[in-house]
Structure 1
Amino acid sequence: MYTGKVYSLWQMVIWTRFETLLFLFISILWVAAYYFLDLQWLRIPWTPMALIGTAVAFIIGFQNNAVYGRIWEARKIWGGIVNTSRTLGVFVQDMLTEEYMDNKSSQTDIPAAIRAITYRHIAWMTALRHAMRSSRTWETTGKHRTNREWGIRTPEESSTLEADLKGYLSEDDLSYALSKSNVQTAILYLQSHHLRALKENGVIWEFSFLELEGIIQELLTLQGQTERIKNFPYPRQYATLNHYFMWLLLMLLPMALVPQFIDIGKDIAGSHPIQGALFVWFTIPIYTAVAWMFHTMERIGRTGENPFEGTANDVPISTISRGIEIDLRQNLGESAEQMPEQFPSDYGVQF
């Protein structure tokens, strides 16, 4: 997502400059045709244009509200992952003890077990963010040239899942997880199996085991919620028709707007002949501004349809995951040299 001052008006103009130039060309073409070819008979009354414009405005507003709901729900889900991860970190450190071990002479290495569970949870977050960044056929916003021209790439595009998991899982766990189609679910299975083994060895009390299993259940719920948003797109019948209706409005608008400015020019020609004759050219900035507004609002909606696609407007799940990792590893007592740095925010963009 964008941070800081990147979302200035100038950045928005740069982001939409190709469409703005297209609107400028369309308006110049229509005005020139009316001015030089005497096409004043080719006009559309304002009433149908007002009806179309109102309908398009309502549809764009509906789309933007629905899209914002998807983005905000995604952010709440990952906020839940943050809170549940911190809870897991606290529970694991305080619930793994020697208190209930029957044979303390064959003690389990409790610090190693705490570290393994914590690292496995980091591996789960890593697998989940990689899954959320994987491509879907309906995710096309990120391919737009204005979303790629800066050369900014998500951390998941710069690395592979296997490479990112190697530092957190044992070779056996890594091989098992990568053999499954849903790697993040497989990692939670491994987590639960490890907790059960610790309970059987007396490292975890029965009640503590149930509490930790409840954390696993909550993580599975949050994972399912974020996968639902990823795998169910914004309905195409709304997104596609809205796009077509918007362009229909913008194509028809000059046939109502240009004649209107011609009529205004005729009204003022008596007192200001030059201004009246040239007044029709004032249509160009007005049409460009109106078209830019409708198109930009519609494009903002399209850009936010898929909050995990990997664009600058997404929920910053990579940054969130890395922040949780740093938090958990700090509380394990690791030094700053042992921990990775937070992902950079190139051009003020967090992923």
Structure 2
Amino acid sequence: MRVMGIETSCDETAVAVIEAPAGTQAVGRILSNTVYSQLAEHRRFGGVVPEIAARAHLERIDGLVAQALDEAGLGLADLDGIAATGGPGLIGGVMVGVMTAKALAFAHEKPFIAVNHLEGHALSVRLTEPVAFPYLLLLVSGGHCQLLTVRGPGDFTRLGTTIDDAAGECFDKTAKLLGLGFPGGPAVERAAVGGDPRRFALPRPMWRKPGCDFSFSGLKTAVRLAVEKLPADDPQAIADLCASFQRTVGDVFADRCANALALAPSSTLVVAGGVAANVYLRGRLEEIAASHGATLVAPPVRLCTDNGAMIAWAGAERLRLGQVDTLDFRPRPRWPLDPAAANRM
């Protein structure tokens, strides 16, 4: 089964083609994975500007579709389905991807699959590792921070979520306050190398409290106050603050995941999303998983940030089950993985 995936929910324009084997436990193969990053367009604003992002998607999408097919050595006729992120995300960008996928599916009589962007992250580990359902998932990115039980495509139970800001946003804010540039996650991780993780005592919101919810707004405020007191032109102080911040986030992740593993025991803890690329945080999660008799599994770093391969793979997982969409699907700025979770709050 060969599926094209189109991802345009934020500031990466991405198109990929993957090959999914017949077996549900067999890993897939990436035939192409093209990504145009819009960092240059957004860097001077210190964050993503939705209108600029949508325009850049529109300018690049056709060329990337052609490039992905060329690198895969395939034509549109060789595909078994075309998937696109249908939400959640910046609605202008999502519309570009969805309309492109619909047009290709209609013109070439292929199934169209609208993929939840978060499901793309949630299932991406199965593209490269033989991970069986169910598993526990920590989904951490610039806009999301959730703990979920994953039983299959479209079958999620949310155990906890952030009550305010996402972890990735906290990384970006910390980097901005310190003048480290955008995107913030990799910048903070680089700056933390050689830093003293115990120099700054930062708050750990929700730490040692019942449940699996997160909170990061108080940590952002504490970082801002610490930055205001930093000595001028002191790179070691910046390294120490970044290391302390990273350690604090690791403490929170470990504590929340420990509660989740006690509440919903699993032999596998998966971490996915952009923040999952952080090597230090992966190490902390490996420790907490092992202490609960579980194994930590994460996608390769190149599949942690937004990409078309994860959307193609989620599309293939759905296509295998006959879960396809009609061409009147409407893009969604919000699309929870577990719609019933709000009723359980």
Name the TM-score class by shorter chain. under 0.3
Larger radius of gyration: 1
TM-score, length of structure 2 as denominator length: 0.23
Structure ranking higher in helix proportion: 1
